[in-house]
Structure 1
Amino acid sequence: MLHSYVADLHIHIGRDMYDRPVKITASNKLTLTSILKEASRNKGVDVVGVIDCQSPGVLEEIQGLIDLGLAHELTEGGIQFEKVTLLLGSEIEVYDEACHGPIHVLCYFPTLQTISLFSRWLCTKMKNSTLSSQRFYGTGIELQQKVKELAGIFIPAHVFTPFKSLYGKGVQQSLTEVFSPLLIDGIELGLSSDTHMADQIKELHHYTYLTNSDAHSLGKIAREYQLINMKTPSFTELLWALRKQNGRRIIKNYGLNPKLGKYYTTVCGNCYNRVSTDVESCPLCHSKKIIKGVSDRIRELCDVNGQKVSRPPYTYQVPLDYLPGLGKKTYAKLLQEFGTEMNVIHKASREELMNVIPEKLAQSIIDMRQGLLTIREGGGGRYGSVR
């Protein structure tokens, strides 16, 4: 029998078990163990993809949890810890002769043995494999082939972000400029796009879309996620879901309204004034640093004329910490009453919420659920905001 599971497959690690940096821009509180506890106990997430597991210190921490009897490997791939399944991933920066800028990709592996082999191989292909998102010295197809040799999953990350992404500055027009389309298992949309926007590009119609948090702190886990029909939460079941095999599939994507993303609209990178893509300099401050927004980049790439693709529903959600007036104490009260953030965002009624928090804030959560909140668009590296 199939069940629905919440999965966030893009979470960073700030520090390893020796307090050494892994993702330099991530919170120091983002350790492997803290991620697993937060997902299992507070967030209500069933599957987490931690994408810095190639780092030797992280691999040691995973093995340590297993040795202590706190975690165990699953037959169908993945590591079970309390109520959450850990998928072993790695984010890598591809920059070969074929592309015009760095491209981030996500690689997932079924077992500790396979990601350990991948980690050792990366030591021959990058300068510092202990850190996250490091530059890979080789071609995109070479990386894809190695991932597949180790029975892994290959997914281009946040594909429309202006920096370090496939369509941002990685390719002129098509993913075939860098990758083999047959060796791609899915496409991660990123915070500044959604299903409707991505489906304006015909070559993406073949792929399953993923919506992940790209969390750099514990609070950001599950700001985007997907609901997946699987028999059990495991690596093999996820692979089948990406391929829509044996009844496994993604049944709903949950993500930010793209306007809340950091790169939705085109702005001046100096004063953040919204500008047109055809200007050479900002009319306000005259800076030539123009950061093209995802919405405008997709319009450039659009090659679909009214074609529709059958997709799971895409539901906009706003993380609780985006709501004005919802601080740490209120958040703690909500968790104490409703158990997990998923229950607060999607299940608690208005009346139930009003028993815990003020009416105005309860109404904001209901309005968020119904897509009624007014949003100021983000751009140039600044998130949008709820008015």
Structure 2
Amino acid sequence: MNFYYTDLHIHIGRTKSGRAVKITGAKSLTFSNIIAHARDQKGLHIIGIIDCHSPEVIMEMEELMERGELEQLEDGGLRYGGLTIIPGSELEIYDESCQGPIHVLSFFPSLPILKEFSNWLSGHLKNIHLSSQRIYVSGRELQRKTKELQGIFIPAHVFTPYKSLYGKGVQQTLAEVLDPELIDAVELGLSSDTYMADGIKELHSYTFVSDSDAHSLGKIAREYQTIQMQEPTFSELKKALANEDGRRITANYGLDPLLGKYHQTVCEKCLDPFDPAAGQCENCGHGKYVKGVADRIAELSEAEGSAPERPPYIYQIPLEFIPGLGPKLKEKLLNHFGTEMAILHDVSFEHLQEVVPLKIAELIAAARIGELKLHAGGGGKYGKVAQKDKDK
């Protein structure tokens, strides 16, 4: 068995021609740029590229295949220069059974099957060219279509206050909207972790994935996992999500939930911490708030029932969160050590301080063992790493 760094949720911002796909995504997030950055700078082995249902993205993949640069793998997935790509689509469900909109991910093993899915989608979307579009079928029907096409179905960032399964979509249970038997894994999102999510008993039977939901190249691999499997293919990934034949996720790497944009409940207006019992913000007097992931999970959690044995969830502080580590220093690190995976996991403290100032090397080393002080995020604002000499 081998181990592979995997991030399954990366958006396409623009097509090769410049047409928007994920409107809120960076223009530099093209199919080819994503591949180069994920492989050469981040050091990933497998990526899920969302929004591949867009016709111009499909055309770009076909062109790469014609040039021999992109290869269809026999066991599913696409290979480009040593990197495996799992093509997928993020869609929004909001049928009569939903309390609010829900984002979900569907992945497919081959380009012909992806094209078949795209053709089917075009009859149920207002704009097939854009990402995260509302699909005008039920969640269960989308699940059945995904499975009919040999796909993988994963509810996305399931706790975020907006457009997620537990954030707005259901009152208590996922069975209100989805068929529990047709879910392959559950994506946690940036503001939660394994230990928080396992408070919800109905999630105990699912594998948890931690993905970046990247809207820019720099955000790729801010969350990821290591997966043990024979080869980096679609069929092996499917087995790993099902914990079959020794294939499995061996570790989840993600932000400490405090760094997530929606971890704590905050005032809708000033983003200060908000106590709903008080009725108004202590800072500005505003009466509305954005409920944090921590409080939402607490509402749904059950006191009884032990959690299943899980792979470790390792708090990973991406380089972009390290105070004082700007683009030039980051580029210097990458030039010396190759990839962000190498810097975060393998490079010794002694070697780090040969390249960057001692203070930066100490922060990176402290991040590895969870010794950084963090300020919680909420209401759409990321948490941050405290600078020891400024934030006490």
Note whether the superposition's TM-score is higher than 0.5.
Answer: yes
**CA shift for structure 1 position 70:** 1.2
Which residue pairs with 1:275 in the alignment?
Answer: 274
Q: Deviations over 1:166-211 (max 9, x none)?
A: 0001000000000000000000000000000000000000000000
Alignment pair present for 1:182 and 2:145: no
Q: Distance in 1 between matches of 2:110 and 2:135?
A: 22
Q: Distance in 2 between matches of 1:139 and 1:308?
A: 31
Give secondary structure in 2 for the equivalent of 1:197.
helix
2:9 partner letter? H
Alignment of 1:151-166 (within 5 A): 151-166=150-165
Alignment of 1:234-313 (within 5 A): 234-305=233-304, 307-313=306-312
Give secondary structure in 2 for the equivalent of 1:278.
helix
Q: Distance in 2 between matches of 1:244 and 1:156?
A: 18
Q: Distance in 1 between matches of 2:70 and 2:44?
A: 16
Which residue pairs with 1:41 in the alignment?
Answer: 40
TM-score (norm 1): 0.98
**CA shift for structure 1 position 279:** 4.2
Q: Distance in 2 between matches of 1:386 and 1:133?
A: 31
Indicate if the aligned counterparts of 1:49 and 1:86 stay in contact, CA closer than 8 A: yes
Which residue pairs with 2:323 in the alignment?
Answer: 324
Q: Deviations over 1:230-288 (max 9, x none)?
A: 11111100000000111100000000000000000000111011011334432332323
Which residue pairs with 1:224 in the alignment?
Answer: 223
Which residue pairs with 1:139 in the alignment?
Answer: 138
Q: Distance in 1 between matches of 2:138 and 2:311?
A: 33
Report how many aligned residue pairs link the two structures.
386
2:3 partner letter? S
Q: Distance in 2 between matches of 1:206 and 1:119?
A: 30
**CA shift for structure 1 position 17:** 1.4
2:165 partner letter? L
**CA shift for structure 1 position 153:** 0.3
Which residue pairs with 2:56 in the alignment?
Answer: 57
Q: Distance in 1 between matches of 2:237 and 2:140?
A: 23
Which residue pairs with 1:233 in the alignment?
Answer: 232
Give secondary structure in 2 for the equivalent of 1:141.
helix
Alignment pair present for 1:90 and 2:89: yes
1:90 partner letter? S
Give secondary structure in 2 for the equivalent of 1:228.
strand
Q: Deviations over 1:102-128 (max 9, x none)?
A: 000000000001111110111111101
Which residue pairs with 2:335 in the alignment?
Answer: 336
**CA shift for structure 1 position 306:** 5.4
TM-score (norm 2): 0.97
**CA shift for structure 1 position 71:** 1.3
**CA shift for structure 1 position 229:** 0.4
Q: Distance in 1 between matches of 2:100 and 2:109?
A: 30
**CA shift for structure 1 position 326:** 0.6
Alignment of 1:375-386 (within 5 A): 375-386=374-385
Give secondary structure in 2 for the equivalent of 1:120.
helix
Which residue pairs with 2:14 in the alignment?
Answer: 15
Q: Which range is displaced more, 16-25 or 299-308?
A: 299-308
Q: Distance in 1 between matches of 2:281 and 2:365?
A: 39
Q: Distance in 2 between matches of 1:41 and 1:141?
A: 38
Q: Distance in 1 between matches of 2:88 and 2:276?
A: 36
Q: Distance in 1 between matches of 2:23 and 2:271?
A: 25
Alignment of 1:97-108 (within 5 A): 97-108=96-107
Q: Deviations over 1:120-163 (max 9, x none)?
A: 11111110111000001111101000000000000000000000
Which residue pairs with 2:77 in the alignment?
Answer: 78
Indicate if the aligned counterparts of 1:202 and 1:304 stay in contact, CA closer than 8 A: no
Q: Distance in 2 between matches of 1:226 and 1:326?
A: 24
Q: Distance in 2 between matches of 1:3 and 1:12?
A: 27
2:31 partner letter? L
Indicate if the aligned counterparts of 2:86 and 2:107 stay in contact, CA closer than 8 A: yes
Q: Distance in 2 between matches of 1:17 and 1:63?
A: 12
Indicate if the aligned counterparts of 1:197 and 1:298 stay in contact, CA closer than 8 A: yes
Q: CA RMSD in A?
A: 0.9
Indicate if the aligned counterparts of 2:275 and 2:281 stay in contact, CA closer than 8 A: no
Q: Distance in 2 between matches of 1:144 and 1:278?
A: 39
Alignment of 1:163-174 (within 5 A): 163-174=162-173
1:157 partner letter? A
Give the unaligned 5+ runs of structure 2. 387-392
Q: Which range is displaced more, 62-71 or 272-281?
A: 272-281
Which residue pairs with 2:3 in the alignment?
Answer: 4
Give secondary structure in 1 for the equivalent of 2:18.
coil
Alignment pair present for 1:369 and 2:376: no
Q: Distance in 1 between matches of 2:188 and 2:287?
A: 28
Identity of aligned residues (%): 54
Alignment of 1:118-129 (within 5 A): 118-129=117-128
2:126 partner letter? K
Q: Distance in 1 between matches of 2:310 and 2:277?
A: 33
Q: Deviations over 1:211-233 (max 9, x none)?
A: 00000000110000000001111
